[in-house]
Amino acid sequence: MAATQSQSSSSAPDATAVLHHHLGAFAKGLDEILVDYSDSSVLVTPDNTYRGTGEIRGFFKSFMDSATKEFWDAFALGAQKVEGDVAYITWWSKPAVTLATDTLVVRDGKIAVQTFTSYTA
């Protein structure tokens, strides 16, 4: 599904590019994922708030270490939307993750704020 973007905002292409890079970075590893973040980035989850690339690295290291081949084989994207500097996606990897959402707020080509939550039935 292609990301949609608002044509009225000059920052939408930046958010679109960062979203596309972020999605592709998982196949390349942890260091590539972190390219999208800065020391002032914040990642908010239901369980914790991670600040800066050091804490965010820890979150993604744990995520990547726990993601099995079966997880990646079942991974699918749903909605992908971009409005201005905000990108939103839904995804799943059944049966491990029934539904997950990520929202990215992009500033100066980096993810300034990200929210993430997942649901498993």
Q: What average pLDDT does this structure show over 48-69? A: 97
What architecture is the 4-119 domain classified under in CATH? Roll (3.10)
For the cut 90, the answer to whether the pLDDT of residue 18 exceeds it is yes
For the cut 50, the answer to whether the pLDDT of residue 51 exceeds it is yes
Question: Cα–Cα distance between 51 and 43 in angstroms, integer?
Answer: 7
Question: Cα–Cα distance between 57 and 53 in angstroms, integer?
Answer: 6
pLDDT computed for residue 121 by the predictor: 75
pLDDT computed for residue 4 by the predictor: 46
- Listed in order, strand segments (DSSP E) in 1-121 are 4-5, 37-44, 49-51, 75-83, 86-93, 97-107, 110-119
Each domain of the chain, given as residue ranges in start order, spans 4-119
Q: Which residues are 51's β-sheet partners?
A: 42
Share of the chain above pLDDT 90, in %: 88
- The encoded tokens of residue 111 equal 């993810």
DSSP-H helix ranges across 26-68: 30-34, 52-66
- Each residue of 101-113: pLDDT tens digit? 999 999 999 999 9
pLDDT computed for residue 36 by the predictor: 96
pLDDT computed for residue 94 by the predictor: 96
pLDDT computed for residue 6 by the predictor: 41
Query: Which of 116, 117, 108, 115 lies closest to 38, judged by CA?
Result: 108
Q: What average pLDDT does this structure show over 51-63? A: 97
Mean pLDDT of the chain: 90
